Structure 1
Amino acid sequence: LPADNNWVENQIRPIATGRKNWLFAGSLRAGQRAAAIMSLVHSARLNGHDPYAYLRDVLERLPTQPASRIDELLPHRWQPASAAI
């Protein structure tokens, strides 16, 4: 086993750094919204998507997406608009 754990430290650094900032979300609802957005961003990243491209596409398609097909916009099922045609 390696003598250091730099990889693990680098993986948890954003969480540890953000923890202090997240104390000032403004309210409980704002904190819940921030958690939802962070979950989407990290899920998109884990599924191999560029988080910016994913959020941009989803926010553009959301107003016209039928409620019965909303699950197509989740990170594990999402296809970019150009690939969906």
Structure 2
Amino acid sequence: MADLLQAWLLQQRALVPSGSATARAIQYSLGRWDALTRYLADGRLPPDNNWVENQIRPVALGRANWLFAGSLRAGKRAAAVMSLVHSARLNGHDPYAYLRDVLERLPTQRANMIDHLLPHRWKA
């Protein structure tokens, strides 16, 4: 099926005007054909990257929102907090429970043990 699709794309590319949106789309697919069909040779690979796209979408949306944080420092703080929230989520934690616990522990946490509060090492 992939070979048929590739042949069809090559035929269609010859029929559409160069520089058109359709020609660019076809050329984009053909130019990445090896990557597009890699999952056919390795059954461990998913046919799409939807899972990754869904994981990074909140960060990408947040990045646009951080432009309106009020100042560069405020934007950097918002980015840091959002990174912690999403890292907690990716590590299977409830972000509210994680942040609440970390903020309660932080004042008394020993400096040489601060890395235990990072999402990938945190224990409730």
TM-score of the alignment, normalized to the shorter chain, above 0.5: yes
Structure 2 matches for 1:33-44, cutoff 5 A? 33-44=77-88
Structure 2 matches for 1:57-68, cutoff 5 A? 57-68=101-112
> C-alpha offsets along residues 32-69 of structure 1, whole Å, 9 cap, x if unaligned?
10110011011100100000000000000000001010
**Secondary structure, counterpart of 2:67 in structure 1:** helix
Alignment TM-score, normalising by the size of structure 1: 0.74
Q: Structure 2: any 5+ residue segments left out of the alignment?
A: 1-47
Q: Structure 1: any 5+ residue segments left out of the alignment?
A: 81-85
**Secondary structure, counterpart of 1:77 in structure 2:** coil
Quote the RMSD (CA, aligned, Å): 2.1
> Runs in 1 of length 4+ with deviation above 6 angstroms?
none
Alignment TM-score, normalising by the size of structure 2: 0.52
Relative contact order higher in (CA < 8 Å, ≥ 6 apart):
1
Task: Say which one has the larger Rg.
Answer: 2
Q: % of aligned pairs identical?
A: 78
Matched, 1:79 2:120: no
The number of residue pairs the alignment matches comes to: 75
